[in-house]
Amino acid sequence: MTENITENITVFTHNSIRIRTGGEGAGNGNIYIDPFQMKIAPKDADFILITHDHFDHFSVEDIEKAACDHTILVVPEKMRDKAQEAAKLVSQIITVEPGKSYELSGQEERLEFETVPAYNLLKPFHPKSAGWVGYILKIEGRRIYIAGDTDATKEAKAVKCDVALVPVGGTYTMDAKKAAELVNDLQPAVAIPVHYGSVVGSPEDARIFAANVKAPVKVEIKIL
C-alpha cells in the first residue's frame, strides 16, 4: 500500500511536491507543497501547503500555476500577511501553527494533517521563533512526512511516518548524512530526498543519502 502512495508522489524540483490522492488513477485530490519552478500549469490543486516564506518555497508565480477556483492555501501563522499576495489565486487561506493537528474540507476532498516545527539548530536561516512547519499528511491510511527546511531536531526525531521526504542539500538544512541518520531513526517504509539540485545541493547529495540509509528503509529518488 505504501508503494501505491509513493507512485502518486511527484517531486518537480527542490521541495516542490505533488501528491495525488483518491485511489486508482489518483485524480480525485491534488495536494501541492511549496510549488516552485513549475514547468507545467495544471491548475488543479485542492490544497497548497507552504512550509515557510522563503522565495523557493512561497512563490506566487508557481501558486498561480497550481491553483484553481476551489484551492485552499495553507501557510504558517506568521505568513498571514505575506500570504495575501496569493489571495486572489485561491478560494481561502488557512493559517497553521507548529505542533498541532488540523482537518480541512475542500470542494470534494478532506485533508487531515499535523504540523511539525521546522528549524535550524545552529544555522541562522530558519530560527525556531519563526514558526515554520513541516507537515505530516494522513492519506489512505498512511502518514507522509514533508519535513520542510529543517535540521534533525528533537521534534523531527519524534515523527512517526510511513513515508519521509527530507531535505538533503545542506547549507540551509541538514546535509545528506544527517538526513540519513534522521531517517534511520524514524524507520519509515520509504524515504525520498528533496531540496537539492536547484537552489542548493546536487544529485550527488541524493546518492550520498541513499548510500547511508539502512535497510529495511527503501530510498526512492524522485528528482531526475
CA angle, 164 then 167 then 169, to 5°: 150
Q: Where are the beta strands (DSSP E) in the chain?
A: 9-13, 16-21, 29-33, 47-49, 72-76, 92-96, 101-105, 110-117, 133-139, 142-146, 163-167, 190-194, 218-219
The residue ranking higher by pLDDT, 108 or 222, is 222
pTM for the model = 0.93
Choosing among 3.30.365.10, 3.60.15.10, 3.40.50.300, 3.40.50.2300, the CATH entry for 2-219 is: 3.60.15.10
Task: Kindly report, residue by residue over 121-161, the tens digit of the pLDDT.
Answer: 978 888 999 999 999 999 989 999 999 999 999 999 999 99
Highest mean pLDDT among 78-82, 105-109, 171-175: 78-82
Domain ranges of the chain: 2-219
Q: What is the pLDDT of residue 172?
A: 82
Chain mean pLDDT for the chain: 92
